[in-house]
Amino acid sequence: MNPFFNPLFLSRILISYLFDIDRVWKASYAELKKYQDKSLRRIVKHAYSVPFYHKKCKKHGVHPHDIRGVKDVEKLPFVTKNDLRENFPDGIVPVGFNKKNSFMMSTSGSTGKPVFVFCDIFSAIKSLEAFVRGLRAYGGSWRKTRIVLIIDLSPGSVEYTFFTQSAMPILKKLVPLENIRYLHIGEKPELLIEKINEFNPEFIGSDPNMLRILAYLKQNGYGRDVKPKYVLSGGSMLDSYTRQYIEKTFDAKVLDYYATTEAGPIAFECLNGSYHINSDFVILEFLDDENQPVEPEKPGHVVVTKLYGGGTPIIRYNGLDDLVIHSRDICSCGINTPLIKHIVGRSTDVIILPNGKMLTPFSLTGIPAKIMEEYGTYKIKQFQIIQHKIDEIEILVVIDDKTRDIEPPVEKILKELKERFQEKIGSDIKIFVSEVPEIQKNERIDHTKVVISKIKKPHTSIP
């Protein structure tokens, strides 16, 4: 039976829509905390019926009765990528779970080993609610605002599941959504920007790499009528150079979303530039290499607990491999949730210095942006930072041929890059700046990584 024809399910969705989307504006910090406590108790009880998690809890000596709220979350065992891989499929869902009425999604598998999880239709609806929440924060409406999303519609992806298999197809039968178009990211960029130009959207959303390509095409005469009010970014790390390039090209503010396949929507950027955690959807912990909490303003490994859903439970999941700096600040925008200061990148992509210290991707990717801002040029079309050895870093740079002969000279820009990186990283590391015709995508994750480290990571500190 289609769940949308079930009165109980429909009433659940209606209540969720009416109360959940606006909760982060209407509820106080204390009320959100109380909601988290209740949701955590419920999801842990659900997880205890999942074979692999039941076994982990028994081994760890913890029972759902021991968990009264967020303060008890550290009593729970961590869930790893290998836990999900090794117990797939039957071990990662409750006994008797009907997988035919659920949706299987996979991560990009950047290590060559993707992770598969099952989600129910309610989880898909919650993802839609998070999107609607973001639109409201930006003054948009999911029923009226013209939106184009360039997403991965390959079978198995989160976007494919959501937009072709679960919530959206059913929802479109009930509510006209002609104002929302979604295009496959695998299409030729020239064709994509032509379609965007015809639709004339107020919002454009995609991953940073595709947005950068569209901005480049816009600068070179394509999509003359593409004039969005906002550009939405998500799916990978948004470096400051790419953000500036997109904003300058489209004359529109870029707003970033932080979401994952396993845990769903985690945070979104408000108009003030603050990343607001969807704290009614997830609990985030920020831990060091010894799994101890880090202080605000310090990078920490993200551990996430998803507070809803009836499929694969995601509780104290440490498989995201993301480094994040959280903040104790309070934003003036009116959204009452804890903040993320920076999403600094994957922990596997930090740069190791010979003295054992580490530099996060975020601390390095701002250098090209600063240079381009100072010189008033965006002739760097793309760049990539690669640490080949402990004392050797190469910076690959793609120059826009159409602006190559315009001041300042390319040689000056490349020289400035080398000097700035040398100053940031230190004199005991050799820096090579190489101009290349293009930078290859990572075939496994289908996008270009901004920072790549080929150095094995010891347990060291991040300044």
Sorted by where each starts, the structural domains of the chain and their CATH numbers stand as 3-346 (3.40.50.12780), 350-453 (3.30.300.30)
Return the pLDDT at 358. Answer: 75
Return the pLDDT at 51. Answer: 98
Return the pLDDT at 389. Answer: 92
pTM of the model: 0.84
Return the pLDDT at 444. Answer: 47
46-81 confidence digits (pLDDT tens): 999 999 999 999 999 999 999 999 999 999 999 999
Amino acid found at 363: S
Return the pLDDT at 459. Answer: 47
Return the pLDDT at 191. Answer: 97
- Environment class of residue 261 by beta-carbon count within 10 Å: exposed (0-12), middle (13-18) or buried (19+)? buried
Return the pLDDT at 347. Answer: 62
For the chain (length 463 residues), average pLDDT per consecutive 10? 57 66 95 98 97 97 98 98 94 90 74 80 85 95 94 77 68 73 92 97 95 94 97 90 93 96 95 97 96 95 95 96 93 97 78 80 80 86 91 94 91 94 90 92 62 70 46
Rounded to 5°, angle at Cα 29 from 26 and 33 = 110
Return the pLDDT at 98. Answer: 85
- The percentage of the chain sitting over the pLDDT mark of 90, rounded to a whole number, equals 61
* Long-range contacts of 395-401, Cβ-Cβ distance < 8 Å, separation of 24 or more: 395/421, 395/431, 395/432, 395/433, 395/434, 396/434, 396/436, 396/439, 397/433, 397/434, 397/435, 397/436, 398/435, 398/436, 398/437, 398/438, 398/439, 399/435, 400/216
Alpha-carbon Rg for the chain in angstroms: 23
DSSP string covering 4-67, please?
GG-HHHHHHHHHHHHHTTTHHHHS-HHHHHHHHHHHHHHHHHHHTTSHHHHHHHHHHT--GGG-
Return the pLDDT at 8. Answer: 63
Closest CA relative to residue 236, chosen from 379, 444, 389 = 444
Closest CA relative to residue 32, chosen from 343, 341, 335, 272 = 335
Return the pLDDT at 303. Answer: 98
Return the pLDDT at 108. Answer: 65
